[in-house]
Structure 1
Amino acid sequence: MTEEGARTPLRRTLGLVPLVALSVGATLGTGIFVVLGQAAPVAGPAVAVSFAVAALAALFSALSYAELAGAVPLSGSAYSYTYATLGELVAWVCGWCLLLEYGVSVAAVAVGWSGYLNAFLDATLGVRLPEALTGGVVDLPAAVVVLLATAVLLGGVRESAAVTTVTTALKVAVLVFFVVVAVVGFRAENLAPFAPAGVAGVTGAASLVFFSFIGFDAASTAGEEARDPQRDLPRAIVISLVLVTAVYVLVALAAVGAVGVDALADSDASLATVLERVTGSAWPATVLAAGAVVAIASVVLTVLYGQTRVLVAMSRDGLVPAVFARVGARRVPTVNTLVVGAVVAVLAALVPLGQLAEATSIGTLVAFGLVNVGVLVLRRTRPDLPRSFRVPWSPVVPLLGLGMCALLVAGLAPATWVAFGAWSVAGLVVYFAYGRHRSKLAQGE
């Protein structure tokens, strides 16, 4: 598999900085800009702790990702790692979960982007888009931002990386601006009672906001477009997770301390609402909403990129049609990108945000759990394999990662489990009807 990846038709142009920007760009924004207002009522002011709990679960898995990214530097992220360690059927299950994780998360973020676009238009022009076009019947702006990101990806990976780096820097600047302004209105009484729902509330909110950490593995989907994947992929994964966690906890504390939980729950564009209430002026909220419009669009771009690269890997193994791995003149998977963009645009237009976020979380947690198992298996079956990074204190850390994933999965709503079960059954039907007979393993290749 590694030798096949070395002969990739994709273009190796990404160094450490664009890889970190890819992971941070795919992560930073999804939870704070979109999901904070939904998680705060579940945990109360302890929602900041919920972000830390979700980050801890992500950290254990991130270390496992880092080891496998250095040992198996391919496009396809967890799918490729599972294929190399646990075999084709389990890899298919993982890949099917990743399709849910990436595709649905793009749609969820696009829906959140629509809310901030409305807030920005209201603050600057005094107008709002018709309710029927922003989630009442169909969410047209959400579909449009997905299609715009698709167009950028078709321009080439170098161009996409440049856009991602610029928008990620803007996103960090906007969130630093938010913390500085929100701290002015910080009131200790807004943090009491700190955890009204106890441990159950904290873990329940952590299950929901875990959705906001999924992007840290985005760099691992660029294994065949990184200049030095063995060195840079593990570093990018760990660095991006540390940066994002620090920002999430600071922003959550500043927001709850400034206006309280109830105010966050009352608005789709919750951070913009915080600044407006703290300052009594519209311009800080306008600045934040403008930054969010650009910043959340970058999340759509980077996660959509990850989705297409997972499909490249699955197609190359014969589990999905070969057209998804076909590379066009600009060294990008053209048909793959067009199909993914169209499907996600429809999903973003028609499905509500809350359902999208929880469906993403369960697919993510299953994939992360399999990556932790993959580290344990590869340590046993191929101890001689060169690794540029090794998970410390193995097998304890991978087992903790697996356990945290199981804990957070257990905190998701029954309806989410039903939806995931239906998705899994559909995936197995596709595998046994198509992939099992057409895969490279079945063909003896």
Structure 2
Amino acid sequence: MSSSLDEQARTRLPIGAQLLRRKPIGLTLAQAEATSDGRSLHRSFGVLQLTMISVGATLGTGILVVLGETVPEAGPAIWISFVIAGVAALLSAFSYAEMAGLVPVAGSSYSYTYATMGEGLAWVCGWCLVLEYAVSVAAVAVGAGQYVNETLDSFGLSLPEAVANPPGAGGVVNVPAALVVLLATALLARGARESARVNTIIAVLKIAILVFFCAVAFTAFKAGNFAPLAPMGAAGVSAAASTVFFSYIGFDAASTAGEEARDPKRDLPRSILLSMIIVTVLYVAVAVAAIGAREWHWFDGREAPLVQIMREITGASWVAFIFAVTSVLAIFSVVLTVLFGQIRILLSMSRDGLVPRVFGVISPQTATPVRSTRIVGGVVAVTAGLIPLGELADATSIGTLFAFALVNVAVIYLRVRNPKLPRAFTVPLYPLLPAAGALICLYLMANLSSSTWIVFGVWMAVGIAVYLGYGRRHSRLATLDQATYERHLEDDLDPDHPLREGDTPR
């Protein structure tokens, strides 16, 4: 082991050259077929499973409560805010679709950045994704206690405060939050196919309950509730759009399953865009149905307004029970799919040597990274059960937006440098759409709170220390001799190279 490290030290590149060294796409695809222990992930996902992974990660509990926060800002025009936010997210979704077809591996935006902008920005992107995925999973899971109590309330029961909330929020440990993460971890450890099957069922249930809400709400529809359409003006509509934008985060989850898709070049772009269409249509339909059922003033300060609308229209207490159960399932689905993405990104980073090898070990029994799943699941479960996340959860937004911006830039870079590469999907109206996508992400980042930027800065400082202390010394790409490295780069420029023909090798 020590001799290996000594050899790496002797061949270490100057730090400037190492930070800018790009990982050739052909090399990325070849390494994806076998990890360091000689095993690979099992290709079992079709368009349906991939689409439901993105829908499962995106369609969470937010839509059940977000209207109470945003309708007072936008008024009846809240549905326009959802359209604006959906279009903004779609710009990045187009870029993800193109890159997912070109680099169909588990690393998502981390791998796309490595192939275009070098190891330095790839590490920053991967480190951002670690923050985004891990903290967002814990943040979503923290809400489990509240919704479990709402479910139990239908039977006149409730959890004691000590086990329903973390320390600092009136409790000792948030048992439901920890259990949700541990259950998702156990399911992921069993195998990707089983996890995808459960997620698909839950995602369909989430879609069904929102369609059911629309059907009931439209029975009390009043067109007069939409006048005046925008009482707070365009500024109010824009402010609400910035808030609801984060309800779309998660559509990129399918791109982390690039090595488990049966036909990744064809199915990944389709699933990413299809999930965006499904989520956007649902959000707009729910917003229109809700405003049609109640005047916009009614939403001010309301918690879970959809549940209240259903209860008032139907007069049935079972409605609250159904929505509470659906919310618990929604939490589980988001935890399952986002945890899945986190583990796959760490797999790619481990394969490159930037994080320890344990995160890249594939189990021969389940064809999944079981060790990594247990480690990540355990850490997230402890975080969700014991730490009141508060504003720390907002830091996930800045990491997500930064990753989105890098993917948009990656599309432009590869179009300029490798225009002849066969692309299963191409962003329309290039370069306008990817440029607009990157600028919108940077604009939204600039409008985040100062506390969010402070957390982000601290996290980046820790990341730099980890890279200099571990990643730089263990980077596999840095140990390639210059001649071999240049040969891989030349292969990327050849559209007829074997790795560019057809699908990823199986």
TM-score norm. by structure 2 comes to 0.82
Contact kept? 1:214, 1:364, Cα under 8 Å: yes
Q: State the Cα distance separating 1:284 from its structure 2 match.
A: 1.8
Partner of 2:53: 22
Task: Say which SS state the counterpart of residue 389 (structure 1) adopts.
Answer: coil
Which one of 200, 219, 232 corresponds to residue 165 of structure 1?
200
Greater shift in the superposed pair: 422-431 or 201-210: 201-210
Contact kept? 1:121, 1:128, Cα under 8 Å: yes
Task: Say which SS state the counterpart of residue 213 (structure 1) adopts.
Answer: coil
Q: Distance in 2 between matches of 1:17 and 1:350?
A: 36
Bigger Rg, which one: 2
Q: Distance in 2 between matches of 1:254 and 1:13?
A: 38
Q: Go from structure 1 to structure 2 and tell me whether the alpha carbon gap of 1:39 and 1:354 turns closer, same or farther (over 3 Å shift).
A: farther
Structure 1 counterpart of 2:351, one-letter code: R
Greater shift in the superposed pair: 370-379 or 165-174: 165-174
Q: State the Cα distance separating 1:207 from its structure 2 match.
A: 2.9
Structure 2 counterpart of 1:377, one-letter code: Y
Q: Does 1:118 align with 2:149?
A: yes
Partner of 2:244: 209
Q: Distance in 2 between matches of 1:319 and 1:198?
A: 49
Greater shift in the superposed pair: 246-255 or 164-173: 246-255
Structure 2 counterpart of 1:130, one-letter code: P
Contact kept? 1:67, 1:391, Cα under 8 Å: yes
Q: Does 1:32 align with 2:63?
A: yes
Greater shift in the superposed pair: 373-382 or 34-43: 34-43
Task: Say which SS state the counterpart of residue 412 (structure 1) adopts.
Answer: coil
Describe how 1:425-440 pairs up with structure 2 within 5 A: 425-440=461-476
Structure with the largest fraction of helix: 1
Deviation string, structure 1 residues 58-91 (Cα, Å, up to 9, x no partner): 1110110011100111101111111111110101
Q: Go from structure 1 to structure 2 and tell me whether the alpha carbon gap of 1:412 and 1:200 turns closer, same or farther (over 3 Å shift).
A: farther
Describe how 1:379-394 pairs up with structure 2 within 5 A: 379-394=415-430
Deviation string, structure 1 residues 264-291 (Cα, Å, up to 9, x no partner): 5645544323312333321222222222
Q: Distance in 1 between matches of 2:152 and 2:304?
A: 12
Structure 1 counterpart of 2:213, one-letter code: F
Which one of 372, 384, 392 corresponds to residue 336 of structure 1?
372
Q: Does 1:150 align with 2:185?
A: yes
- Which stretches in structure 2 are left out of the alignment for 5+ residues? 1-27, 482-506
Q: State the Cα distance separating 1:360 from its structure 2 match.
A: 2.1
Partner of 2:164: 134
How many residues of Structure 1 are paired with residues of Structure 2 in the alignment? 444
TM-score norm. by structure 1 comes to 0.93
Structure 2 counterpart of 1:94, one-letter code: C
Contact kept? 2:61, 2:327, Cα under 8 Å: no
Describe how 1:41-52 pairs up with structure 2 within 5 A: 41-52=72-83
Task: Say which SS state the counterpart of residue 442 (structure 1) adopts.
Answer: helix
Structure 1 counterpart of 2:464, one-letter code: L
Partner of 2:454: 418
- Which stretches in structure 1 are left out of the alignment for 5+ residues? none
Partner of 2:351: 316
Which one of 304, 317, 324 corresponds to residue 289 of structure 1?
324
Q: Distance in 1 between matches of 2:51 and 2:386?
A: 32
Q: State the Cα distance separating 1:185 from its structure 2 match.
A: 3.5
Q: State the Cα distance separating 1:16 from its structure 2 match.
A: 1.1
Q: State the Cα distance separating 1:15 from its structure 2 match.
A: 1.0
Q: Does 1:218 align with 2:253?
A: yes
Partner of 1:67: 98
Q: Go from structure 1 to structure 2 and tell me whether the alpha carbon gap of 1:299 and 1:265 turns closer, same or farther (over 3 Å shift).
A: farther
Contact kept? 2:392, 2:455, Cα under 8 Å: no
Q: Go from structure 1 to structure 2 and tell me whether the alpha carbon gap of 1:34 and 1:236 turns closer, same or farther (over 3 Å shift).
A: same
Task: Say which SS state the counterpart of residue 237 (structure 2) adopts.
Answer: helix
Deviation string, structure 1 residues 231-258 (Cα, Å, up to 9, x no partner): 1000000001001110011112323443
Greater shift in the superposed pair: 37-46 or 227-236: 37-46
Partner of 2:495: none
Deviation string, structure 1 residues 365-399 (Cα, Å, up to 9, x no partner): 11000000000111112122221111111111100
Contact kept? 1:206, 1:408, Cα under 8 Å: no
Q: Distance in 1 between matches of 2:226 and 2:376?
A: 42
Which one of 382, 403, 419 corresponds to residue 367 of structure 1?
403
Q: State the Cα distance separating 1:263 from its structure 2 match.
A: 5.6
Greater shift in the superposed pair: 383-392 or 285-294: 285-294
Q: State the Cα distance separating 1:196 from its structure 2 match.
A: 4.8
Q: Distance in 2 between matches of 1:352 and 1:260?
A: 35
Aligned residues with identical type, % of pairs? 56
Greater shift in the superposed pair: 6-15 or 305-314: 6-15
Q: State the Cα distance separating 1:146 from its structure 2 match.
A: 1.1
Q: Does 1:94 align with 2:94?
A: no
Q: Distance in 2 between matches of 1:377 and 1:35?
A: 37
Q: Distance in 1 between matches of 2:338 and 2:230?
A: 33
Q: State the Cα distance separating 1:201 from its structure 2 match.
A: 3.5
Contact kept? 2:69, 2:301, Cα under 8 Å: no
Q: Distance in 2 between matches of 1:87 and 1:190?
A: 53
Q: Distance in 2 between matches of 1:262 and 1:346?
A: 40
Q: Distance in 1 between matches of 2:233 and 2:174?
A: 36
Q: Distance in 2 between matches of 1:66 and 1:218?
A: 12
Q: State the Cα distance separating 1:182 from its structure 2 match.
A: 2.1
Contact kept? 2:221, 2:293, Cα under 8 Å: yes
Contact kept? 2:134, 2:380, Cα under 8 Å: yes
